[in-house]
Structure 1
Amino acid sequence: MTWTCDCVFRTVLAGQWPPATWRARVRRFFAWRRSWACPHGSAGAAGGREEVGGYAGGSSGGRRWRHGSSTQTALQLRASAGVGAGGGASAARKKNSAAVLFGAAGRMRYGLCCRQQLRNLVLSFNHLTGVLPTSIGCLSSSLSVLILGSNKIGGNIPDEIGNLTMLSYRSLKGNRFNGTIPSALYRLPNLERLYLHTNNLHGRIPECFGQSKRLGLLSLSQNMLSGQIPQGLGALPHLRELDLSHNQLSRKIPASLGKCKTLELVDMAHNKLTRNIPSKVVGLQNLEFYFNVSGNLLQGSILEMSKMVMVLAIDVSQNNFSGGIPSALESCKGLMYLNLSGNAFEGPIPVSLVNLKNL
């Protein structure tokens, strides 16, 4: 059964149970959960006992979600659903996907009738369609996690999402959103992770992203974003991961990114970036995992990359870099992957590269 996104949120805001078919599936799911959690025990005596996932049973008080578990997330249900379930990776994925859906649905009655207690809303890996309704701004002001990824939701991202001021984790990845990135995102002072990749967003990356001081992860890859990478991203003191790959970004990489001393992963592959990479950017010594600028129009030397002594992977393939391959790359002791193909390098391969024991 396919639900539109608007239908789901109207049900959420009204504090109603889902249709009977969903109720039956929820009951079956929790029956399976109880049998897995306590295969040789009973469902609980009068007065109830706590089950895995914060479910309280009991013959006298009925079945309910206990008040103390209101902060338990559906993510925990998803993570635990695959434990002990046989049938290989495929069966585990099915159970995990089901747990996300049923975990969110199973909490609708209590958590959404009392919307001020709602902390986490997870509706990912379903077949939700339509547009994201403006009523999303009427959800709990305490909502900190909103995960709607891997659905079929389209249209613009509504500005009303800016009303969720406590939001720290937001994922709309893998949908069909179009339009530009809304300015409402800058009114989320607690935002720490933002996943908007694999959509149809276009336009420029707003300069105002620099106002999200707590932002640590920004993923905008696989959209149709254009223009220059904003200088304001360099004002994010806690930015650890930046993924802008597979867009239509152009012009030079801003030197202000060199101010992000906490950056551990940078992926700007497959854009239209030009000129040299600023020395402050390739000189980020805390880059620990991945530096990928492949598939652009970058030029110049890569000598400064030898300063990334902790990085595990460097990919500068399919650009216009020239000159010799610097022997100083041997200082990147942790390097496990190096791709320099599709450029204009010349001269001998440095013998010093043999000192990279993990390569």
Structure 2
Amino acid sequence: MGISPELRSLNLSNNHLEGPLTVSSIPLQLQSLDLSVNELNGPLLLDIPIPEQNFSLEKLLLADNKIEGPITASLGTMTSLYILDLSNNQLRGNIPDSLGNLTLLTVLRLESNHLNGEIPACLTNLSELVMLNLASNELEGQIPKELGNLAGLASLHLEKNNLQGLLPLSLAQLSNLQVIDVGENNLTGNIPSWIGTCSSLLVLMMRSNNFKGKLPPQIGELTELLILDLSSNLLYGEIPNTYLNLAAMVVVNEDMSVVGEDRHAPSARRVRPCGAPSGARSRHPPNIRGITPDSDHNYYGTCVDYVYGNEDRRYYIEGLDLITKGSERHYAYVLSGMACIDLSNNRLWGHLPAKIGNLKGLMFLNLSRNSFNGDIPGSMGNLSQLESLDLSLNKFSGKIPFQLGSLDYLGYLNMSYNNLSGVIPQQGSHMITFDKSAFWGNPNLRGCPVESWKCSPPHSPLSPPTIDVKEEAKEGFSWYELSMGWSVAAGFFAVVLVLTFKVNWRKTTFDQMDRAITFLLGERTN
């Protein structure tokens, strides 16, 4: 098939293309090549001397294929590349040092492969790098301190590897950092206080490591923080008061509009939060519940803009795995209203402060598997955006606050295995709509749904008014007993009437009874 020499961008993604990718199949004049989401297989065949070919390729997207083998070292000679995406393939081996030659790279995505070895220090040569994603591989060793030299880095994904050691202090120099995800590794030590100096941070994911010590109060000074996940570590102590005033979670923007409607401001290789206009930064992203995630301008995260000719293009790069509503869910993009705190499965204790009601923009809260005690504060009824609440496996006591029954968006609730008592809020509350498993392990709780016979709404037009059986029993009888007696009597007389007027039925019935009696007597005699 002939390709026009004027062609600069070729997008064949989401097809069923097969076979290996060879360098000879890439037209020299292309600036952008997207072959993602196909069935390309075999190794990357880039073994001819690429510098002689004078490639001008700036964007190479090969994600979601079946490409296997090592990352060929000759890929490092495509020095015009701004974006390189090899994610979700079957690549193996070490990350080659030659990638350090791609000094114009802004986005490097190698996640979801089988890469091993250590993170090469040569990546520090990528001075223009904005996004580095090495997640879901088999990388080991320590996080190289040289990453702290990547002054423009906005997003760092190292989760789901076998990394060890401490978070390097050099990362404190990354003043533009918006996303840190180092979850599901073997990192140790205290959570460093210097994280509080990363003032642009939107997402902090450190779950499933071996971090110990107390929660650093400096995290509460991150005014832009939307997602905080420190679950499944060895942390202990009380929740610092600073966490209860996280600025981006305090205010609820009832406007359903999207941050930044200006989507076509011309620029080249500009980085900003997705959806925000050039030079703009929203202190609190709006609530976008109900807006479908298919419209690209509804996302909030790190964006990289590129200009090809006169066309302004954007490349969205954020996605997270969050444990919400009782299970791990993948969010392909960080939505602008997604405020989340997960401190579950640690050794935290103490009373839950009433100030937690300040976090009115919070959508997901998980404090399960700790040792929190005392009453659940009624101020949690102020969390009007809350969709998921998990307080299970703690030592909370007292009554469930009736204010929680007014949380209209609450779709998942788990209060099991605490020391709660009293009646579950009933009147005007949708607490009764949750499964009784949400309240298991609280033997002193009463009311619907743990007592299922009390789940009919009183005085409902679809059911008769409920009657207190105990009150009627005080007068010597109950309406329940009376109605059961009438039912038995009516059934008996109906049978007698039928046998009286139906001679054949009567004869057959008595014959069967006679045979049964004879059989039983015979069995007993034997």
- Pick the TM interval, shorter chain: 0.7 to 0.9
**CA 1:296–1:98: 2 relative to 1, 3 Å:** same
Name the counterpart of 2:343: 268
**CA 1:257–1:224: 2 relative to 1, 3 Å:** same
Question: Residues 77 and 102 of structure 2 are in contact (CA less than 8 Å); yes or no, is this contact kept in structure 1?
Answer: no
Cα offset, 1:115, TM superposition: 2.8
Name the counterpart of 2:202: 216
Match among 397, 402, 418 for residue 327 of structure 1: 402
**Residues 1:136 and 2:211 aligned together:** no
Cα offset, 1:354, TM superposition: 3.4
Secondary structure in structure 1 of the residue aligned to 2:186 = coil
**Residues 1:293 and 2:293 aligned together:** no
Separation in 2, partners of 1:253, 1:101 = 47
Unaligned runs of 5+ in 2: 14-23, 40-61, 82-98, 250-338, 435-526
Separation in 2, partners of 1:186, 1:298 = 32
Separation in 1, partners of 2:235, 2:372 = 12
Name the counterpart of 2:153: 167
Name the counterpart of 1:126: 113
Separation in 1, partners of 2:173, 2:369 = 34
Question: Residues 155 and 177 of structure 1 are in contact (CA less than 8 Å); yes or no, is this contact kept in structure 2?
Answer: yes
Q: Give CA-to-partner distance per residue, 1:253-284, whole Å, 9 cap, x none.
A: 11101221313101111000010122223431
Question: Which one has the bigger helix percentage?
Answer: 1
**Residues 1:63 and 2:27 aligned together:** yes
Separation in 2, partners of 1:245, 1:65 = 49
Cα offset, 1:297, TM superposition: 0.5
Cα offset, 1:201, TM superposition: 0.5
Q: Give CA-to-partner distance per residue, 1:29-53, whole Å, 9 cap, x none.
A: xxxxxxxxxxxxx341344453117
Q: Give CA-to-partner distance per residue, 1:153-211, whole Å, 9 cap, x none.
A: 11111110001111111100110001111112111111111110010001110011010
Specify the code of the residue in structure 1 equivalent to 2:380: M
Separation in 2, partners of 1:66, 1:215 = 36
Secondary structure in structure 2 of the residue aligned to 1:238 = coil
Cα offset, 1:116, TM superposition: 3.0
Name the counterpart of 1:344: 419
Cα offset, 1:124, TM superposition: 1.4
Name the counterpart of 2:389: 314
Question: Residues 231 and 343 of structure 2 are in contact (CA less than 8 Å); yes or no, is this contact kept in structure 1?
Answer: yes
Name the counterpart of 1:44: 3
Name the counterpart of 2:135: 149
**CA 1:286–1:301: 2 relative to 1, 3 Å:** same
Question: Which one has the bigger strand percentage?
Answer: 2
Match among 72, 77, 91 for residue 109 of structure 1: 77
Secondary structure in structure 1 of the residue aligned to 2:218 = helix
Question: Residues 190 and 214 of structure 1 are in contact (CA less than 8 Å); yes or no, is this contact kept in structure 2?
Answer: yes
Cα offset, 1:108, TM superposition: 4.1
Separation in 2, partners of 1:149, 1:164 = 18
Specify the code of the residue in structure 2 equivalent to 1:167: L
Separation in 1, partners of 2:144, 2:423 = 55
Name the counterpart of 2:163: 177
Question: Residues 146 and 169 of structure 1 are in contact (CA less than 8 Å); yes or no, is this contact kept in structure 2?
Answer: yes
Question: Residues 162 and 186 of structure 2 are in contact (CA less than 8 Å); yes or no, is this contact kept in structure 1?
Answer: yes
Farther off after superposition, 109-118 or 245-254: 109-118
Indicate the percent of aligned positions where both proteins have the same amino acid: 31
Separation in 2, partners of 1:268, 1:97 = 36
State the structure with bigger RCO (CA 8 A, min sep 6), 1 or 2: 1
Cα offset, 1:105, TM superposition: 8.7
Specify the code of the residue in structure 1 equivalent to 2:360: Q
The RMSD of aligned alpha carbons is 3.1
Unaligned runs of 5+ in 1: 1-41, 55-59, 84-93
Name the counterpart of 1:255: 241
Separation in 2, partners of 1:104, 1:261 = 46
How many equivalent residue pairs? 293
Specify the code of the residue in structure 1 equivalent to 2:404: L
Cα offset, 1:129, TM superposition: 1.5
Higher Rg: 2
Specify the code of the residue in structure 1 equivalent to 2:373: Q
**CA 1:245–1:95: 2 relative to 1, 3 Å:** same
Name the counterpart of 1:38: none
Question: Residues 10 and 30 of structure 2 are in contact (CA less than 8 Å); yes or no, is this contact kept in structure 1?
Answer: no
TM-score (norm 2): 0.51
